[in-house]
Amino acid sequence: MPPAVKFLRLTRFALLSAAMTSAFRAQAGPVAFFDINSFLGSAQVINFNSIGQNIQITNQFSGQGVTFSGASLFGSTNSGDLAMFSNSGGVIATTWTGSPANSPWVATFTVPQQQVGFYVEMNSGDSVALTTNFDSTPTGTVSYLSIGTTAVFFGVQDLGAFNSISVTVTGSDNHFFAMDDFRYVAIPGPGVTALLAASQCLAALVPLRRRFRRY
């Protein structure tokens, strides 16, 4: 094998390895976002419309890759709260059952995710903290301080992957929490992102290989 071709192949493997490493370390820890249009790709969406009033939400959505646990979430058709969600289909999820709410609640996914978000309503002055976890190990926390009672969109992105989130409400009020339009995006298939990055590096080597072939 000519030295030039051998060098080209070694360089190609080195670039591929570097690209794969870079892809999986593209982001360190979670980042909050407040725009529903910031989702990458196609999101799985849960609107809770199949849940009845005061029915506890646990594994009803396991077929869609997520279960809920920890502090109890319940279906609610309370008209006063529904009015705060402009796109609600008639049912929201809440931790409120007539007494100060408990927290945190947990959503566990069957496959690693890169984004999750939801419309959230809380009392003004209360704060929600969303922690991403991988195999029960926290990877970071983002938070949102409510300045009004109208629902706003709140989400988190972590390209390093997480397979559960825990959500805690704190503050001087009664820790009321309600949400709707819960959505999440899974990490792409193994190596997809890395291979796309590597292909760009390898494309740059094509002219070099052609130059070697001239001699």
What digits encode the pLDDT tens for the residues 119-162?
Answer: 999 999 999 999 999 999 999 999 999 998 899 999 999 999 99
Q: Which residue has the higher pLDDT, 27 or 38?
A: 38
Q: Which H helix or E strand runs over 203?
A: helix 192-203
**pTM recorded for the entire structure:** 0.75
Tell me the average pLDDT of the chain: 81
Q: What is the mean pLDDT of residues 26-47?
A: 89
The answer on pLDDT for 106 being more than 90 is yes
Contact between 54 and 97 under an 8 Å Cβ cutoff? The reply is yes
The answer on pLDDT for 214 being more than 80 is no
β-sheet bridge partners, residue 131: 141, 166
Separation between Cα atoms, residue 163 and residue 8, nearest integer Å: 39
Q: Give 192-201 pLDDT, tens digit per residue.
A: 444 334 434 4
Separation between Cα atoms, residue 181 and residue 90, nearest integer Å: 11
Task: State CA 102 to chain mean position distance.
Answer: 23
